[in-house]
C-alpha cells in the first residue's frame, strides 16, 4: 500500500527572524585617526589614543564606522578595522561581517553575510588621475576611486591576489590592452570578472559607422590612447566567452556639455555647497560634432557586445552618465558614481521588492538618490544619471537586508506541520502529495509598522531573480508531461536536459505562494549528476510527487550547476524527504546563495590555478530553466 506524505503549506510557515543590530562596544588597539570616509585620503575628524572607547556601527571594506564620545563631544567616522579590537573575547563586533548590520538597519539573520574570497573571481581596476598631455585636465579623485573599487571587488568576493591595478602612467592604451588580454588568458570557464575604469571619456565621429564613437581616454592619449567601445568588445571577447558574469563600470562620461566651457572651469573644477571637494568633469572633447550628442548615432559597450554575440544576461554595464550629460569627479572622495555605488553595494541599498537580496537596479536607485542629493544646491549643473544595462537583476553578493518596511515586533505563531516521512520499513515507493491545508492560526500578530507596504512576491517572482543569476551560455531544457495536474490524482513528471555536464537541482515555489521546497536531490534520491545531452526523468520511481493543492500555479526552477552545492545551507527544515523553507526574504536569500556557490571552490580541490584548470567543479556557474505547472480541482 502506498503511503502519502502531506507537504502542508500552512505548516511550513516559520517565524521570520529579525535582529535590530546595535552598536558594538570595543577599544582602539593603537593610536589612530577617525576619518570622514573609509579612505586613507579622507579628512581627519579626530585623533584617537590607544585604548579609546568606541562603538562600532558597521564594518566594510577593511574599515569600521565608529562612534567616539569624549568631553569634546561625539564624533562618528571611519577607522581602519585593523586598528580596533575585533576579537570575539573583547567584542561581539567580530560577528559584524557586513555593513548591512549597521545601527538602525534591521538585517536578516541569514548566516550568508560573511562572504569569503573565491579564487574564481577576478578584478581589473584602472584609474587615471593625470594625463601625459598638458591640455587634458587632471582628475585627482580618480586615484581615490582605486580604493573604492577595491572595496567593491572585495564585497564581490574577489581575493586580493586576483585584483590587478593600472594607475596613471601605468594605464597607457597598450598597457590596458595587454592587461585585458592577460585577464582573458587567466580566467576559466564559469569565472566572474569585475572591471572598473575611472578617468576621462571622450567621443569622436567615425564616418565608417555613420555616427559618434565612444572611447575611454588612456594616459597617453592620441591614437594609441583611445580605446573605443568596438575595440573594447574585441579585447573582452575571450573573457565574455568564459565568464559566468562580466561586470563593467565606467566612471567616465561621453558628453559634450563642456565644449564651450571656460578653460578655468575645466581645469580647476567648481565648488558645490554640499561638499568641500571640488567637482571636475570627467570628459575630454575631441570633436565639435560629437561634443554635442543630440540625436546622433552612438555605439555603447553593451550594443557592441551584443552585436558580437555576447548575451546581455551575462553582462552588467553601469556608466556614470547618459550620452548627453557630464559626470563628475570629487577631488576629495573620488567619482560621484564610484563612491555612491560603493556605499550602496556595501551598506545603503534597500531590498525594495523584499526579494531577499540586493540587485544592481536597487544599487543604482540608491546611488542615484545620493548623486541627486550631492548636487541639489548647485547653481549651474544638474545631477548626472547612472545608466545600467544588461542584467539589471544581477546580485553582486548574496547578503540580504530587511525589506523596506521595518521588521515586525512579534513573530506569528502558526499551526504545526502535518505528517513527516513514512517509516523506513515501508518498501513500496512513497507518493509525496502537495496537500491543501487549513489557514494558519495566528496567535499573536505583528504590530502595524509605519512605512511603505511591500507586496509579497509570488512564487514565480521569487524564483525569477534567482533565474536571472544563471549563465545564459549554459542551456537547460525542461519538458513537462502535463502542464496541468488534477489535485489528488495526477503526478508531476518532467524531463531535464543540459548541454553541459553538472548537478541537477529542482526548487519548487508552492501554489500557496508561501512555501518553497528543494524537490531534488532529496533524502530518497541523491543521484543528481547529469551528463551533457543526457535526458533525466524526474521524479524517479522511488519518489513521486502528486498534486495536492491548493489550486493555482506551482513554479519550478531547475538549475544545472557545474559543481555540487551544499544543501545544508538551506537549514534543517524538512517536509518528508525534502528540504523546505519559506517564500520570504530569508528563504530566498539562502536559496540564492546556494545556487551560486559551489561547495568545492574554497576547498583544497580548487585552491590553485593548476587545480582549477579545466575543472568544472571549481566553477560557481549554473544554467537554469523555469517552468510552471497548474493544479486544478
pLDDT in tens, 320-349: 887 667 788 888 888 899 999 999 998 889
Report the range of poorest mean pLDDT among 191-195, 416-420, 456-460: 416-420
Give, in degrees to the nearest 5, the angle at Cα 376 between 373 and 391.
Answer: 50
**Structural domain tally of the chain?**
3
What is the C-alpha separation between 586 and 457, in angstroms, rounded? 13
Query: Does 443 map to a domain?
Result: no
Answer yes or no: is 218 within a domain: yes
Pairing type for strands 502-509 and 552-561 reads antiparallel
Q: What is the pLDDT at residue 150?
A: 94
Q: In terms of residue numbers, what domain contains 504?
A: 4-16+416-438+456-606+615-632
Which helix (H) or strand (E) is 266 found in, with range?
helix 263-268
> How many Å separate Cα 541 from the centre of its chain?
39
Structure confidence at residue 425 (pLDDT): 33
Question: What confidence category does residue 423 fall into, taking pLDDT thresholds of 50, 70 and 90?
Answer: very low
406: three-class secondary structure by DSSP: coil
d(CA 130, CA 136): 8
Look up cell 529579525; give the residue.
18
Cα dihedral angle (280, 390, 504, 632), rounded to 10 degrees? 130
Sequence-ordered list of residues with C-beta below 8 angstroms from that of 540, at least 6 positions apart, any chain: 525
- The model's pLDDT over 96-139, given as tens digits with 9 standing for 90+, comes to 444 444 333 333 333 334 478 899 999 999 999 999 988 888 88
- Owner of C-alpha cell 580647476: 268
CATH number at residue 73: 2.30.30.40
Dig out the grid coordinates for 31 from the structure: 593610536
Q: How far apart are CA 415 and CA 443, in angstroms?
A: 10
3-state SS of 372-399?
Answer: HHHCCCCCCCCCCCCEEEECCCCCCCCC
Based on the fold, state whether residues 12 and 32 are members of the same structural domain: no
In a shared domain, residues 189 and 277: yes
Same domain for 87 and 138? no
Query: Per-residue pLDDT for 189 more than 90?
Result: yes
Q: How far apart are CA 429 and CA 420, in angstroms?
A: 15
Residue 520 grid coordinates: 531534488
> For 42-187, where are the E strands, in sequence order?
44-48, 53-60, 63-70, 73-80, 107-108, 121-127, 163-167
Confidence of residue 356 (pLDDT cuts 50, 70, 90): confident
- How far apart, in whole angstroms, are the C-alpha atoms of residue 217 and residue 224? 9
On whether both 132 and 86 belong to a single domain, the answer is: no
**Residue 387 is placed in which grid cell?**
545608466
pLDDT at 287: 53
Answer whether residue 421 is part of any domain: yes
Check whether residue 9 and residue 37 sit in a common domain.
no
Query: What are the tens digits of pLDDT across the range 145-171?
Result: 999 999 999 989 999 999 999 999 999
pLDDT at residue 289, as a whole number? 55
Same domain for 623 and 579:
yes
Quick one: CA torsion of 350, 355, 359, 363, rounded to 10 degrees? -10
Per-range mean pLDDT, top range of 98-102, 374-378, 443-447: 374-378
Q: Are 326 and 384 in contact (CB under 8 A)?
A: yes
Spatial separation of the C-alpha atoms in residues 156 and 192, rounded to whole Å? 9
pLDDT of amino acid 347? 84
- Which of 35, 60, 95 finishes a domain? 95
Write down the pLDDT at residue 107.
34
In 3-state terms, what secondary structure has residue 504? strand
- Which of 61, 95, 129 terminates a domain? The answer is 95
Using the structure block, give the residue that is written with the C-alpha cell 548647485: 378
Percent share of the chain, pLDDT over 70? 72
Q: Are residues 507 and 619 in the same domain?
A: yes
Same domain membership, residue 544 and residue 462:
yes
CA distance 392 to 315: 9
User: How many angstroms from the chain centroid is the CA of residue 78?
Assistant: 24
In sequence order, which residues have a C-beta less than 8 Å from that of residue 610 and are 6 or more positions away?
none
Instruction: Return all residues near 295 (Cβ < 8 A) that are at least 6 apart.
Output: none
Cell triple for 44? 581627519
Co-location of 130 and 81 in the same domain: no
**Lowest-confidence range among 24-38, 293-307, 443-457, 561-575?**
443-457
Integer Cα distance of 278 and 268 in angstroms: 8
Partners of residue 77 on adjacent β-strands = 66
Query: Are 8 and 46 part of one and the same domain?
Result: no
pLDDT score at 424:
34
d(CA 321, CA 250): 9
Q: How confident is the model at residue 627 (pLDDT cuts 50, 70, 90)?
A: very high
pLDDT at residue 268, rounded to an integer: 24
Whether 248 maps to a domain, the answer reads yes
Q: Are 340 and 148 in contact (CB under 8 A)?
A: no
Supply the CATH number for residue 125's domain.
3.40.50.1460
- Is 594's pLDDT higher than 70? yes
Q: What is the mean pLDDT of the chain?
A: 76
Query: How many helices (H) and strands (E) would you count in the chain?
Result: 10, 36
Dihedral sign from CA coordinates of 578, 580, 98, 464: positive
Q: CA-CA distances (angstroms) from residue 266 to 13, 258, 261?
A: 60, 8, 7
d(CA 231, CA 18): 49
Q: What is the mean pLDDT of residues 508-536?
A: 92
pLDDT in tens, 11-29: 222 211 222 234 688 899 9
Q: Domain for residue 551, yes or no?
A: yes
In a domain, 86, yes or no: yes
First to last CA, the chain: 25
Question: Considering the domain boundaries, does residue 114 fall inside one?
Answer: no
Angle at 156 between CA 159 and CA 625, to 5 degrees: 120
Radius of gyration (Cα) for the chain, nearest Å? 26
User: What is the pLDDT, as a whole number, of residue 290?
Assistant: 59
397 in a structural domain:
no
Residues 329 and 476 in one domain: no
Instruction: Work out the pLDDT band at 397, boundaries 50, 70, 90.
Output: confident
For residue 102, the 8-state DSSP code is -
CATH number of the domain to which 534 belongs: 2.60.40.2550
Q: What pLDDT is attached to residue 622?
A: 96
Domain identity same for 34 and 9: no
Amino acid at each position: 500500500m502506498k503511503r502519502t506524505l502531506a507537504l502542508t503549506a500552512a505548516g511550513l510557515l516559520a517565524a521570520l527572524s529579525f535582529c535590530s543590530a546595535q552598536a558594538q562596544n570595543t577599544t582602539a588597539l593603537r593610536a589612530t585617526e577617525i576619518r570622514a570616509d573609509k579612505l586613507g585620503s579622507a579628512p581627519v575628524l579626530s585623533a584617537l589614543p590607544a585604548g579609546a572607547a568606541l562603538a562600532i556601527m558597521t564594518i566594510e571594506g577593511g574599515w569600521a564606522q565608529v562612534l567616539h564620545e569624549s568631553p569634546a563631544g561625539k564624533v562618528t567616522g571611519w577607522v581602519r578595522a585593523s586598528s580596533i579590537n575585533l576579537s570575539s573575547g573583547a567584542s561581539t563586533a567580530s560577528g559584524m561581517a557586513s555593513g548591512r548590520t549597521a545601527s538602525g538597519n534591521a538585517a536578516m539573520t541569514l548566516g550568508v553575510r560573511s562572504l569569503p574570497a573565491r579564487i574564481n573571481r577576478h578584478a581589473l581596476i584602472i584609474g587615471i588621475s593625470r594625463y601625459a598631455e598638458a591640455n587634458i585636465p587632471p582628475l585627482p579623485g580618480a586615484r581615490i576611486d582605486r580604493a573604492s573599487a577595491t572595496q567593491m571587488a572585495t564585497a564581490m568576493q574577489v581575493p586580493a591576489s586576483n585584483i590587478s591595478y593600472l594607475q596613471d602612467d601605468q594605464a597607457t592604451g597598450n598597457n590596458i590592452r595587454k592587461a585585458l588580454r592577460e585577464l582573458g588568458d587567466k580566467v576559466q570557464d564559469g569565472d566572474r570578472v569585475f572591471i572598473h575604469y575611472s578617468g576621462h571619456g571622450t567621443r569622436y565621429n567615425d564616418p565608417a559607422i555613420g555616427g559618434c564613437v565612444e572611447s575611454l581616454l588612456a594616459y597617453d592619449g592620441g591614437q594609441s590612447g583611445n580605446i573605443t567601445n568596438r575595440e573594447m568588445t574585441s579585447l573582452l571577447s575571450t573573457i565574455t566567452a568564459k565568464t559566468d558574469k562580466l561586470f563593467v563600470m565606467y566612471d567616465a562620461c561621453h558628453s559634450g556639455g563642456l565644449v564651450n566651457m571656460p578653460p578655468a572651469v575645466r581645469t580647476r573644477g567648481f565648488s558645490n555647497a554640499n561638499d568641500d571637494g571640488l567637482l571636475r568633469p570627467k570628459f575630454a572633447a575631441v570633436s565639435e560634432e560629437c561634443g554635442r550628442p543630440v540625436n546622433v548615432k552612438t555605439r555603447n559597450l553593451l550594443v557592441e557586445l551584443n552585436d558580437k554575440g555576447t548575451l546581455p544576461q551575462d553582462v552588467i554595464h553601469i556608466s556614470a552618465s547618459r550620452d548627453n550629460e557630464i559626470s563628475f569627479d570629487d577631488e576629495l572622495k573620488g567619482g560621484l558614481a564610484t563612491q555612491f555605488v560603493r556605499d550602496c553595494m556595501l551598506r545603503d541599498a534597500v531590498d525594495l521588492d523584499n526579494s531577499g537580496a540586493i540587485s544592481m537596479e536597487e544599487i543604482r536607485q540608491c546611488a542615484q538618490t545620493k548623486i541627486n542629493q550631492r548636487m541639489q544646491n548647485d547653481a549651474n549643473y544638474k545631477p548626472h544619471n547612472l545608466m545600467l544595462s544588461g542584467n539589471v537583476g544581477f546580485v553582486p553578493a548574496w547578503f540580504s537586508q530587511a525589506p523596506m518596511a521595518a521588521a515586525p515586533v512579534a513573530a506569528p505563531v502558526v499551526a504545526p506541520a502535518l505528517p513527516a516521512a513514512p517509516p523506513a520499513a515501508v518498501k513500496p515507493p512513497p507518493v509525496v502529495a502537495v496537500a491543501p491545508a487549513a489557514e494558519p492560526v495566528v496567535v499573536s500578530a505583528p504590530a502595524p509598522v509605519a512605512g511603505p507596504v511591500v507586496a509579497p512576491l509570488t512564487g514565480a517572482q521569487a524564483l525569477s531573480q534567482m533565474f536571472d543569476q544563471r549563465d545564459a551560455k549554459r542551456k537547460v531544457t525542461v519538458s513537462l508531461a502535463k502542464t496541468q495536474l488534477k489535485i489528488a490524482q495526477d503526478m508531476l513528471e518532467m524531463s531535464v536536459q543540459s548541454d553541459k555536464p553538472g548537478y541537477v537541482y529542482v526548487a519548487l515555489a508552492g501554489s500557496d505562494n508561501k512555501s518553497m521546497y528543494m524537490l531534488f536531490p532529496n533524502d530518497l534520491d541523491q543521484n543528481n549528476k547529469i551528463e551533457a545531452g543526457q535526458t533525466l526523468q524526474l521524479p524517479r520511481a522511488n519518489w513521486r510527487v502528486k498534486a495536492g493543492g491548493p489550486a493555482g500555479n506551482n513554479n519550478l526552477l531547475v538549475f544545472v550547476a557545474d559543481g555540487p552545492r551544499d544543501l545544508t545551507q538551506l537549514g534543517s527544515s524538512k517536509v518528508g524527504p525534502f528540504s523546505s523553507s519559506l517564500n520570504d526574504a530569508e528563504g530566498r536569500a539562502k536559496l540564492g546563495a546556494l545556487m551560486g556557490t559551489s561547495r568545492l571552490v574554497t576547498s583544497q580541490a580548487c585552491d590553485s590555478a593548476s587545480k582549477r584548470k579545466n575543472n568544472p567543479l571549481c566553477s560557481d556557474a549554473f544554467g537554469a530553466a523555469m517552468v510552471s505547472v497548474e493544479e486544478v480541482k
